[in-house]
């Protein structure tokens, strides 16, 4: 590994470490999912530096934020810091991980719930964030749930429902659906692909 890469890695670790600590504990490290048979990916953490380009200019007034597969809660930390006053949810399939995240963030205005997003997508969710949480089959089920939520979204909330999909490996699920409008988000070269999807 060259020196520039090493320095970048060190700086990324340092930023993640200190921001995590502001919200209670360092939450780095990957946990293998106990639910591969449910199409789940492992619990990995986004780096804070990856979030600003994804969210730039997307959050509307009264936006209700949902982290789909919130894992250890790094996105929730960043939202608390950047979008105070917005209602926010983290939905996580892995009950051990969800319990730890719920305990760590209990004193903050965020709801962490354990279960499958296909069942637990909040009725007032308007902006859903995904960091490659599951396979294409689950993604198709999630999209069906979103369409139902879009049809009954409370009138005082921003519409249409938006999805920010980072490391969008199964984007074709949305691209193939005439109810979805997909726009790629320009990202710095070393980051994953990201897309903004409007549903309905």
Ligand X SMILES: C[S@@+](CC[C@H](N)C(=O)[O-])C[C@H]1O[C@@H](n2cnc3c(N)ncnc32)[C@H](O)[C@@H]1O
Contact 112, 70 (CB under 8 A): yes
Neighbours of 67 (CB within 10 A): 28
In the bound state with ligand X, the residue whose beta carbon lies nearer, of 29 and 188, is: 29
Which is closer to ligand X, CB of 145 or CB of 159?
A: 145
Q: Which residues bind ligand X (CB under 6 A)?
A: 33, 40-41, 43-46, 67, 69-71, 74-75, 91-94, 97, 116-117, 131-134, 138
Closer Cβ to ligand X, 7 or 9, answer by number: 9
CB of 166 to ligand X, least distance (A): 7
**Encoding tokens for residue 1?**
């590994």
Q: Which is nearer to ligand X, 40 or 143 (CB)?
A: 40
Q: Which is nearer to ligand X, 134 or 153 (CB)?
A: 134
Burial class from Cβ neighbours inside 10 Å (0-12, 13-18, 19+) for residue 176 reads exposed
Q: Which residue is nearest to ligand X (CB)?
A: 69
**Please, what is the minimum distance in Å from the beta carbon of residue 72 to ligand X?**
7
The least CB distance from residue 113 to ligand X, in Å, is 9
CB of 128 to ligand X, least distance (A): 11
User: 198: buried, middle or exposed (CB in 10 Å: 19+, 13-18, 0-12)?
Assistant: middle
Angstrom distance (rounded) from CA 70 to CA 95: 11
CB of 29 to ligand X, least distance (A): 11
**Distance separating alpha carbons of residues 144 and 28, to the nearest angstrom:** 32
Q: Which is nearest to 80 in space by CA: 57, 51, 53, 39?
A: 51
Strands 194-199 and 161-166, bridge-based pairing? antiparallel
């Amino acid at each position: 590994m060259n020196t520039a890469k090493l320095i970048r890695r060190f700086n990324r670790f340092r930023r993640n470490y200190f921001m995590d600590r502001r919200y209670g504990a360092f939450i780095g490290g990957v946990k293998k999912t106990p639910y591969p048979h449910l199409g789940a990916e492992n619990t990995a953490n986004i780096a804070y530096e990856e979030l600003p380009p994804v969210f730039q200019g997307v959050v509307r007034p009264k936006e209700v934020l949902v982290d789909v597969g919130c894992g250890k809660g790094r996105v929730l930390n960043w939202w608390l810091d950047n979008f105070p006053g917005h209602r926010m949810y983290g939905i996580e399939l892995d009950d051990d991980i969800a319990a730890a995240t719920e305990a760590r963030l209990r004193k903050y205005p965020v709801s962490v719930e354990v279960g499958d997003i296909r069942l637990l997508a909040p009725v007032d969710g308007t902006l859903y964030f995904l960091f490659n949480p599951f396979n294409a089959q689950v993604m198709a089920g999630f999209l069906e749930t979103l369409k139902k939520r879009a049809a009954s979204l409370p009138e005082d909330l921003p519409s249409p429902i938006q999805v920010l999909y980072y490391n969008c490996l199964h984007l074709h699920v949305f691209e193939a659906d005439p109810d979805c409008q997909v726009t790629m988000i320009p990202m710095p070269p070393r980051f994953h692909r990201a897309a903004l999807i409007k549903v309905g």
